[in-house]
Structure 1
Amino acid sequence: MTDKYTNRYVKKTIDLLFFNFIGILIGLIFFSDYSYSNENNENKPSIKLTANDSLKALNKFKADIDNVLSVGLLKRAKYGVAVYSITNKKYIYSKNLTNEVTPASNTKLFTTFNAFNTMGPDYRIETTVFTDGNIKDSVLDGNLYIVGKGDALLTVTDIEYLADAIIEKGIKKINGNIYADGSFYDTMTQRVSYSGDKDIVEPLQPITALTLNQNIAAILIHSGSTPGKPVSVQLVPPSEAFIIQNYATIAGVKKTLKQSGKKIIKTKKNYDKKNHIKQKIKINSNKHKITVRKSKKTTYNYQYIEQRFGDVPPVPSPASRRRPRITVSTKIDSSGLQKFIINGSLTAGMNYSYRYFIQNPNLVVAGTLKNRLESGGVKITGKIGLGLLQSVRTKTGLLAEINRPLMDLIYLTNKNSDNYLAETIFKMTGAYSGNHINNSMQSKEKLFEAIKRYNIPCTDCVINDGSGLSRRNRVTVDAILHLLIESKKLNFGNKYDSSLTIAGIDGTLVNRMKNTLAENNLRAKTGTLNNTSALSGFVNTQDGELFAFSFVFNGGSVSSYKQIENKLGVLLANFKYSSIIENDKKSEEKKVVKSKQKRK
């Protein structure tokens, strides 16, 4: 009896353990499947949708966009609006898809797409220093050539790096000249020279293959405590290609010097004209008649801005709001040197800064390199000048080099809508393609080759420049949309996307669409001119669907257009297909509540 009972008990125990094991196994499979399903569908609607539900949601979405665009302002405007689902490969919304519009800074989308497509996403911009001589016993018998390829972010620090690399080769003396070779770019250094525009719109620095501090010179003026003494003047970048003539004094005593008897006070090293190669330098090749729009703080050639720039140390704000009685003017002399003439007086203990365009950047770069080499203890017997490097582009002739990713320029161009960098990239693309006589023409040819290759509907587009300052640029929102769509298929797509400004986070969208689903989601390129506003880019919906979009408005209030763009951007970020069911459910719940209230 005992054995029989024991056997039955053991059998029951084994059966119980077996069924428990099966139950646990089923549970694990179920929950892991649930977890996997949940993980893979976290961005998808949790509500089961029918085709009719999706259609209703899209129709409601289109109606919401129509409602935003129904404002009276747009009845008189020329505009286009388009939304495309990259995820589902179909248009979501379109209005005036093929209307020609002025894109303003949305032109930069074409410029940077063209640069990536032509030069590649990993292209690096070189600045090199070569010699045509030989080094023996720490003496270089020969010339130096600093050669630029369009690095518009080159700074004094970079020149110091090049100078240090030369010094590290043991060179203590150079029996030769220092030449700047900016021949990679053509001689058209002003945007209006190649865009064909009659108005400047916004003054830009000279666009050159060799640049320094984005071709802007900063003048720092400080007045000490002794009336009648000259003010202190510092110029950044320091270069032998600059001459400072300082006639300004510290206020407090009556000025008695006559114009003809003024003594030139140089705060920099005295300039020796014998130490410069005289050349004929064509500064402005523009032959067009230019209409200049002046403002209180902007004139055609120069900009006066009281702020920090580049390598200039911070300047404290003046204690007094009274405008300084200081005037600064600049001009190029017959030998290509840029003079800065400072007149007037300044109250004791004051600091002011001024910014002026560098008018002969290539020569200034050569002068700064010479300055840095001499500061490092190298004796240079020659002069500075402009020259072409001919046949010494070999490893043996290379003394120093520095390179910067193209992406660095594109990032700042699109994030901050930097017009100067955009024009630099525009010219660089043409120069890279082999045309050093007319960079812009070659750049446009490469752009329209790409447009044809990728079937972008833009054969009738007009692109006159790289920045979008030209009011004569003409595109369609369909062309912009296809440009964005194609970028996602190419090897530079991720970099192109990451160069766009992010709503509420950075760049020109830093203060827009905050505290919405578009914040830190919508990525786009802004565009602004008088009577023109644009916004084009990408956004993810609540369902995780990727939209490409383009909004361009011409002929009205820019601030009103920006508000419309914000509303549209938020609408796109908020969209989800299940919204129609959720709204119907809410409506039903409201009806039930009202019905109960009536019964009471």
Structure 2
Amino acid sequence: MQAVRRCGAVDWRLTAAFIGGVVFAVVLGLGFDGLTPNEPVGATDRARLEVGAAEQLSQSGTGPLSPDDLAIDDGADGTPGGGGDAPDDLLPGRQTRGRWTPAREAIDPRLQALLDREADGALDSVAKASGGKAGRSDCLVSFLAVDLESGAVVASRAPDRSMAPASNLKLVTTLSALHVLGPDWRFRTPVEAAGPLNAGVLGGDLVVRAGGDPLFRDGDPDYARGRLAQLAGSLAEAGLRRVDGALVLDLGSFAPVGPAPGWPTSSASWTGSYGYVAGLTANAGLVDIAFEALAGGRTQTTIAPSPTGLREESNVASTSQTVNDVQIGLYDSSGRLVLKGELGPPGRSFERDIRHPNPPALFAALFLRALADRGIDVRDGFREARGVAPGRELAALETPWIDLITPINQDSVNPVADAVFLAMGGATSGQWTREAARSAVAGALTDLGIDPRGLHQVGGSGLSRDNRISPRMVVELLRAALAQPPSVRQRFLDSLAVAGQSGTLEDRMGGTAASGRLRGKTGFIQGASALSGYVETLGGRQLVFSIVVEYPRLGGLNNSVWKPMHDSIGAHLAQWSP
């Protein structure tokens, strides 16, 4: 899953011990699955982090894969399933009423043997990789591969098993959102006056209504600050100069901030991968912290976005020695962020993102600063509320949701996926709840011709262990995506990572036949590992596939066993010919 921020070449390993009521977490430069439930974050040195006790083959042949290569003709009227269906030779598994049926079985014995060999080899290596803590009988490897031209299942292994898909669930979230919201839907965050506005003075509260916008742009933690500055500017242009009340954040039907059901229990729960979705937030509730060692014993520390609303204490020293002993302490109960330790030699840098313990407070801190910068004084600070009576709208922020599809699928940013998931509930029923979102997704799948009963979805990101879907259903979803109108199909395909080139696949399968030809979505939480997507073979055939693994929740196995297996299977698929 994600919020991956690469910080070095070697993965981190987390160990922890309870000392005096505080969890001291030591991060070591060792090969490991990493702190975050997705692709690993790396560091070349050790770093110590303190967490408050209150926290809970070579390429040849045809050119690389492009989205156009995967196109399937649309219905005559350009709508999914409308007018005329796509040609039978391209959509052989689809019935005229629009429901996808399992592709016909035509297993290729050569490909099946190759993929089974990779799966069996990985299973046989578990005992050694786990130090004897697990064996092949404790693990399950499932996969399905379908040739799009013939509609034939060319390789299959337990494809109907309902499994935790980790971040492969984001494929369900984004394709459903494209169907439910359409590419033009926007998050909307209105600001209202709860009282009379006379001569620039608001005699009451300034109310911001939660619209679920994560205010996120990948790689730009200050994006939210800029957007809120624009909003404050609009209020100033509307004549607002003073608020004789509070900034009130109306969180509406959004659930209280916190973990979703089934989230992994982890001593890394302070990291960005565990960012909380909220009705009002900024930078998807993530805070980026960067350190750079300078000469003279000084270290430059940059926190973005800022202000955070946290009590920040920073004392990281620079040293001439080669060391990364940076400590990050996040204390939920008191709202403290403590940074200390050593970093060196001068010129060495270190970066990490963490989750904010209360994203609405982060939004409030940034917006209050933006208002102050425009000369707008808010007398009573901020407070959170629900069900505030409607007031007069003064300004609003609008953000296209479609701008988030690439951070979700290519970079696997969890709280952004959860925000889009909730948006489907809000858009269809006015309720920004998981229940409403699940209903919207079920409707989308039904419209796409996929039986939603095979899906159990807790959130949008795949972080929950309670999510369930089969590899066959993932393949059906990916096949259905290709039958969508060009604007929908293209945005979906463009959002996926490409082997050896981009996103969470940038550093994988390079130099193999899959490089530039495999386009897909990765997934990992401890105990589950997945890779699903599309492959253009060296001979120009198009395959759709899904691989999902269940295994004991032991560290190290994803990097040492399952990811290499995924990559080998991807290379075999790219070399397949009928």
* TM-score category, normalised to shorter length: 0.5 to 0.7
What are the residue-to-residue correspondences of 1:79-90 with 2, within 5 Å?
79-90=141-152
Q: Give per-residue Cα distances to partners, 1:155-193, cap 9 Å, x unaligned.
A: 111111111222233433333322222225222x2234x
Question: In the TM superposition, what is the alpha-carbon distance from 1:209 to its structure 2 partner?
Answer: 1.0
Q: Give per-residue Cα distances to partners, 1:485-536, cap 9 Å, x unaligned.
A: 1122234222222211111110111012223342222111112233432111
Q: Find the aligned partners of 2:254 and 2:163 in 1 and give their Cα distance.
A: 30
Q: Find the aligned partners of 2:323 and 2:236 in 1 and give their Cα distance.
A: 47
Write 1 or 2 for the structure with the bigger share of strand.
Answer: 2
What are the residue-to-residue correspondences of 1:36-51 with 2, within 5 Å?
none
What are the residue-to-residue correspondences of 1:342-361 with 2, within 5 Å?
357-361=355-359
Aligned to 1:560: 561
Any idea what SS the aligned residue of 2:429 has?
Answer: coil
Closer, same or farther: CA 570–342 of 1 in aligned 2, 3 Å: closer
Q: Give per-residue Cα distances to partners, 1:73-128, cap 9 Å, x unaligned.
A: 26644122211122333322222222233322212222222322222222221233
Aligned to 1:365: 363
Paired residue type of 2:566: E
Q: Is the contact between residue 416 and residue 508 of structure 1 (CA under 8 Å) also seen in structure 2?
A: yes
2:518 corresponds to 1:468: no
Aligned to 2:406: 411
Aligned to 1:213: 283
2:420 corresponds to 1:425: yes
The match for 1:102 among 164, 174, 178 is 164
Paired residue type of 2:375: G
Question: In the TM superposition, what is the alpha-carbon distance from 1:367 to its structure 2 partner?
Answer: 3.2
Question: In the TM superposition, what is the alpha-carbon distance from 1:388 to its structure 2 partner?
Answer: 4.6
Q: Find the aligned partners of 1:382 and 1:106 in 2 and give their Cα distance.
A: 44
Q: Give per-residue Cα distances to partners, 1:385-410, cap 9 Å, x unaligned.
A: 224574546xxx33333322222222
Q: Is the contact between residue 180 and residue 385 of structure 1 (CA under 8 Å) also seen in structure 2?
A: yes
What are the residue-to-residue correspondences of 1:284-433 with 2, within 5 Å?
319-321=320-322, 328=329, 330-332=331-333, 338-340=335-337, 357-388=355-386, 390=388, 392=390, 397-433=392-428
Q: Is the contact between residue 319 and residue 343 of structure 2 (CA under 8 Å) also seen in structure 1?
A: no
Aligned to 1:178: 247
Closer, same or farther: CA 572–353 of 1 in aligned 2, 3 Å: closer
Aligned to 2:526: 530
Q: Give per-residue Cα distances to partners, 1:311-331, cap 9 Å, x unaligned.
A: xxxxxx764456779785645
Any idea what SS the aligned residue of 1:160 has?
Answer: helix
Q: Find the aligned partners of 2:504 and 2:394 in 1 and give their Cα distance.
A: 40
2:552 corresponds to 1:551: no
What are the residue-to-residue correspondences of 1:584-595 with 2, within 5 Å?
none
Max radius of gyration: which structure? 1
Any idea what SS the aligned residue of 2:548 has?
Answer: strand
Paired residue type of 1:210: L
Q: Find the aligned partners of 2:213 and 2:301 in 1 and give their Cα distance.
A: 28
Question: In the TM superposition, what is the alpha-carbon distance from 1:215 to its structure 2 partner?
Answer: 1.9
Q: Find the aligned partners of 2:315 and 2:474 in 1 and give their Cα distance.
A: 56
Please, which runs of 5 or more residues in structure 1 have no aligned partner?
1-41, 44-54, 252-316, 578-600
2:240 corresponds to 1:190: no
Aligned to 1:37: none
Which range moves more in the overlay, 81-90 or 218-227? 218-227
Paired residue type of 2:190: T
Q: Is the contact between residue 326 and residue 346 of structure 1 (CA under 8 Å) also seen in structure 2?
A: no
Q: Give per-residue Cα distances to partners, 1:187-240, cap 9 Å, x unaligned.
A: 2x2234xx245735852233211112332346789999999xx99998654459
Q: Find the aligned partners of 1:511 and 1:565 in 2 and give their Cα distance.
A: 13
Closer, same or farther: CA 477–200 of 1 in aligned 2, 3 Å: same
Aligned to 2:78: none
Any idea what SS the aligned residue of 1:495 has?
Answer: helix
The match for 2:265 among 184, 187, 199 is 199
2:513 corresponds to 1:443: no
- Residue correspondences, number: 445
Aligned to 1:153: 215
Q: Is the contact between residue 224 and residue 250 of structure 1 (CA under 8 Å) also seen in structure 2?
A: no
Q: Find the aligned partners of 2:178 and 2:188 in 1 and give their Cα distance.
A: 16
Q: Is the contact between residue 107 and residue 156 of structure 2 (CA under 8 Å) also seen in structure 1?
A: no
Question: In the TM superposition, what is the alpha-carbon distance from 1:368 to its structure 2 partner?
Answer: 2.4
Aligned to 1:575: 576
Q: Find the aligned partners of 2:353 and 2:331 in 1 and give their Cα distance.
A: 11
Aligned to 1:489: 483
Aligned to 2:37: none
The match for 1:510 among 506, 510, 519 is 506
* TM-score (norm: length of structure 1): 0.63
Question: In the TM superposition, what is the alpha-carbon distance from 1:141 to its structure 2 partner?
Answer: 3.9
Q: Give per-residue Cα distances to partners, 1:558-592, cap 9 Å, x unaligned.
A: 33332232222222223344xxxxxxxxxxxxxxx
Q: Is the contact between residue 458 and residue 467 of structure 2 (CA under 8 Å) also seen in structure 1?
A: yes
Question: In the TM superposition, what is the alpha-carbon distance from 1:471 to its structure 2 partner?
Answer: 3.0
Please, which runs of 5 or more residues in structure 2 have no aligned partner?
1-68, 71-104, 125-135, 217-223
Q: Is the contact between residue 147 and residue 543 of structure 2 (CA under 8 Å) also seen in structure 1?
A: yes
Aligned to 2:123: 73
Aligned to 1:3: none
Any idea what SS the aligned residue of 2:410 has?
Answer: helix
Closer, same or farther: CA 208–85 of 1 in aligned 2, 3 Å: same
Write 1 or 2 for the structure with the bigger share of helix.
Answer: 1
Q: Find the aligned partners of 2:293 and 2:144 in 1 and give their Cα distance.
A: 57
Q: Find the aligned partners of 1:402 and 1:61 in 2 and give their Cα distance.
A: 52
Q: Find the aligned partners of 1:114 and 1:163 in 2 and give their Cα distance.
A: 34
The match for 2:496 among 490, 496, 500 is 500
